[in-house]
Amino acid sequence: MIHLKNIVLFFILCMTSLSLSAQSFYFSKDYYADSSLFVKALPELARQIQDSITISNQPLSANNKMHVSMVAEAYESALTHVETMRQPFKEDYKVGIFTPFEDYAKAKQNQSATTPFQHTLEAQILETYSSLNVASQEVVEGNSLYPVQNLRMSFDATKEKHKTSDTLKLQDALLLISSYNYYQVYNQTSSAMQKVIKEYNHKTYEVETTIVETQNGGKLRTHVVRKKGIVEKLPTVFIFNIYADSLIDIGIAKYYAAKNYVCVVANTRGKGISEHEIAPFEFDGSDAYGLIDWISKQPWSNGEVGMVGGSYLGFSQWAALKTLHPSLKTILPQVSVGPGIDYPMNGNVFMSYMLRWIQYVTSNATTDYADFSNAPKWNSLYKKWYKQGTSFSTLDSLEGRPSAVFQRWLDHPSFDAFWQNMVPYKTDFSCIDIPILTTTGYFDDDQMGALYYYKQHHVYHPNANHYLVIGPYNHSGAQTYPQKIVGGYAVDSVATAFNFRALSVEWFDYVMKDAPIPGLLKDRVNYQIMGTNTWGHASELSGISNDSLTFYFDKTRSDGFYTLSQKPNSDYLEQEVDFTDRSDDTEFAHMVIKDSITSDITNSISFISEPFDEALILSGAFISSLKVAINKKDVDIVIRAYELMPDGRYFALFTDSGFSALQRASYAKDNTHRQLLTPNKKETIEINTSYITSKQLSQGSRLVIALGVNKSPYWQINYGTGKDVSDETIQDAGESLRIKWFGDSFIKIPILTTDD
C-alpha cells in the first residue's frame, strides 16, 4: 500500500526537527480551553518564532519552516519551503509530494471575499492535479486518503500535554504548530482532493465499474480503465487487489492506461460491493482464473493479460498460477507475500502484526486506514498482551474484535495443506512456463516469500524463464519508487536510477508488445552490491557468491563481545532466559544504520569477528548449523547480523525487521511437520532460511552475530512445553529456559570475490 507508507514517511519528515535551543515563548494556558482563542493565538505564536529565529539565526529544518510560515499566514514563504522539502525525492513523483500544503497556501493567497474558500481551494487542487504526471497524481491520491481523525488525535494529544503551562519551549511550540497545521490543512483539503480526482478521472479516462461473476461462484467488484478515444483492442494489465478503494484502484489503473494498456483492477471476495465473506488468501487462485477468462472475452481485449502488484497483490499473481489460464502471458510479482512462509508466520512463528493486518482488510468492505495507521494503539495492545502473559490465541479478544480469520490461521502452525493450496506447490511449479519478473529488496520484510517462489520455480522447472531484481529496497521501494535513504543508509545512486513502475511497463512491453528486454536485466539474477555503486548479474541465485567464510562461536571475550572464531571448539556458552520477565518490551528501531544495537539484542549472546584486513563483498544468504541443548522441548531462535563499521556505527545487514533468520527449532527440519527436541540433549538445528543481502564490507569493519531466543511483544511466545504455542500462557513458563550454544556450531558467510 504505497500511499499509506509514503504519507507516514512524509508525516515523520515534517514532524522531525533539528536539535533546538531551550528558548521559550508565551502562550496562555487559557487558549487551550477556548478553541476560537486558540486558533487566533496560534498565528501570533508562529510569528514570534519567525522573528526569534531571524534575530538568533537559529537553524530550523525546511519542514519546521514550512509549518511555521503556514500558520503565520506567510504563504509565499511556505511555498518556498515546500519546494525545498521536495528536493530529496525522485523526479518521477516528487512534485506530487506535499501538494495539500501547496494547494492550501495558494488558495489562501487567491482567496476573495466574494468566493467561498472551498471553491477557491477546489479550483486550485484541479489546477495542480491536472498538471502532474501520472506518478505524482498517484501520490496525491494517496495523500487524500490519509485518516484525518488520526491527525486530530495527534493534535489533541499535543495540546493536552501543554495545557497547564503559559510557556512553550521552542521544540514544543514547533510540535504544537506542526500538528495543528497538519490537521487543519488535511481537514480542509482531503475531501476536496477526493472530489476533484474523481471528476478528473472520469473526464480523462473511460472508467467502467462492474461485478464480474466467475465460474466458481465469485462475485467481484472490477474497475476497467482505458484512455478515452482508444478503439483498438489492447493487452490488459490485471491487478487483483484486496485493498479496496475506488480512488486508489482507479489511480493505479490510470498509470497503465496512460501507457496504452487496458487496466483492470478487481477486488478480492467480500471487498467493495462483493457480497462474500472476506477470507484473505483462500479463494484468490480460482477467482483470478475466472477474472482472466472474463477479461479475455471482452471487446477491448486482444486476449493477452499480464499481472502486476506488490505484497498481497504479488501473492495473488502466484495464486493465479495455481491453474494457469492460457491468456495469462506474464506476471510481475513484487515483494510477494508467501502465505505460511513469511506471513502470518516466519520460521513457523506467528507475528502479532497479523491481527493488525487482518482487521485492516476484514473490518469493512473497503480498507480501514484509520485503524491500521494507528500504530500507538497496536503497539499498546501487543505490550498489554505481553505483560499479561495470556495465550497468543486471546490477542483478538483482547483487542475487542474476535476474528474468525485470526483463529483459523492459528489452527495451522505448520506449512500444511491449508497454506499449500493457496499457491503453486512443488510440482505445480513445473507447469509454469510464462516469463516472470520478481522484485524484492534486502530490507523487504517479504523477501522470504518472494524468494520462496523464485527458488521453488527453479527447483521444479530448471529452465524457468524467470528474472529477479533485488537491491537495497524496503517493502515499499521494491514495488514502486526506490528511496534514496533507507533507515539512515544513503543508497547507492545506481539503485535509484530507475523505478519499479516504469520497469513494469518496460517488462509488459517486452512480453506483450515485442519491445526490447529492459536494460537492467543483464541476466536472470540482477542484484545491487551495496557500497560499490554497481549492479551484479548472474544466471542463477547461487551465482551471487563464489566463496564463503565459516565462523564458530567461541566464549573468549573481545571488546565486550564473545568471539567469532574460524576454528571450532569443544566448549559451550550457556544462556538463561526467564519467560516470566516482561520488562523487555522495548519497541524495535527499524533502522539500517544504528549507533547502538543494545535494544535489538535482548535475550541474545553476541559474537564479533576480527577486523577485516581488506574490503570484502558479503553476498547471499547465511547458512547456520547450531549445536544446542535446551532444558525444554522447543525454542524459537533468532539470528541477527551487523557490520560494525570503522566509525563505530552498526549496519543491519538483513531486513528492517532486525533479524537475518527466525526459526522455531521444532520445524527446522521440516516446516510441514513439528518435531520436538529432547530436553538436555545436544542436537543440531540447521537454519537455511536466512534472508539474502549483498554489501561490500569496509576494510577494518567487523562482523557481529547475535544468537538469541525470541521473546518479544511482536511475536508469539514459545514457552517450550511442546503444546500448541498459540495456547501456551505465562503459566507454562516454569523454570527459565537454559540453552547451551556449543562451540562446534557455525555460521557460513557467503562471499563474492572479483578479479579487481
pLDDT in tens, 274-310: 788 999 999 999 999 999 999 999 999 999 999 999 9
pLDDT of residue 201: 84
Q: What is the C-alpha to C-alpha distance for residues 262 and 248, in angstroms, rounded to an integer?
A: 16
CB-based burial of residue 368 (10 Å sphere; 0-12 exposed, 13-18 middle, 19+ buried)?
middle
The C-alpha atoms of residue 104 and residue 246 are separated, in whole angstroms, by 25
Q: How far is 320 from 291, CA to CA, in rounded Å? A: 10
Q: What is the distance between the alpha carbons of residues 448 and 684, in angstroms, rounded to a whole number?
A: 23
pLDDT at residue number 143: 85
How confident is the model at residue 5, as a pLDDT? 40
Contact (Cβ atoms closer than 8 angstroms) between residue 453 and residue 436? no
CA angle 604/610/612 to nearest 5° reads 120
Q: By three-state DSSP, how is residue 595 classified?
A: coil
The pTM for the full model equals 0.88
Helices (H) and strands (E) in the chain, counts: 20, 31
What was the pLDDT predicted at 657? 58
Q: Report pLDDT for 733.
A: 97
Q: How is residue 719 written as a grid cell?
A: 514457552
List the Cα angle 93/197/333 in 5-degree steps. 50
pLDDT in tens, 545-594: 999 999 999 999 988 899 999 999 999 999 999 999 999 887 767 789 99
Looking at the chain, the whole-number percentage of residues with pLDDT higher than 70 is 96
pLDDT tens per residue, range 592-617: 999 999 888 899 999 999 999 999 99
pLDDT at site 95: 82
* Share of residues in the chain with pLDDT > 90 (%): 81
Residue 327 has a CB neighbour count (10 Å cut-off) of 20
Query: Dihedral through CA 576, CA 581, CA 584, CA 585, nearest 10?
Result: 140
Domains of the chain: 2-201 (no CATH), 214-341+418-542 (3.40.50.1820), 349-412 (no CATH), 545-752 (2.60.120.260)
Chain-centre distance of CA 29, in angstroms? 41
pLDDT < 70: residue spans in the chain: 1-22, 54-58, 588, 655-658, 756
